[in-house]
Amino acid sequence: MKVTLTPAVKEEVLYYSDIKGEVFYLNIPQAVIKIEGNYGSGFDGLSTELHLTAEESKEILSVIKSKLTSETLKQNAEFWNCF
């Protein structure tokens, strides 16, 4: 038997760019960059998600791409060739 103690409340959200602060068209982020800190790092157990426009994500990913080894770029060539 199921007894409802508290009826569910529908969640309403608003997505906006974490860089420019503008609300996304159709309320859908064009890109989400997730960063997680693992054991041994200075931010172990912490994580964040950045909601970005396509242009903002290209700027950030271009910086990351410039720091990657050629082997990493080869392994994920389809992705990294977009920037």
Per-residue tokens: 29: 């982020």
Whether 15 contacts 30, CB under 8 Å = no
Look at the chain and report how many structural domains it folds into.
Answer: 1
Residue 12: inside a domain, yes or no? no
Can you give the pLDDT at residue 73?
A: 93
Residue 50: inside a domain, yes or no? yes
Residue 1: inside a domain, yes or no? no
Range of the domain at 73: 25-80
Residue 76: inside a domain, yes or no? yes
Residue 71: inside a domain, yes or no? yes
Can you give the pLDDT at residue 1?
A: 64
Residue 51: inside a domain, yes or no? yes
pLDDT mean by block of 10 residues, the chain; 83 residues: 76 90 90 93 91 94 95 92 84
Whether 61 contacts 52, CB under 8 Å = no
Residue 68: inside a domain, yes or no? yes
The pTM score is 0.74
Residue 67: inside a domain, yes or no? yes
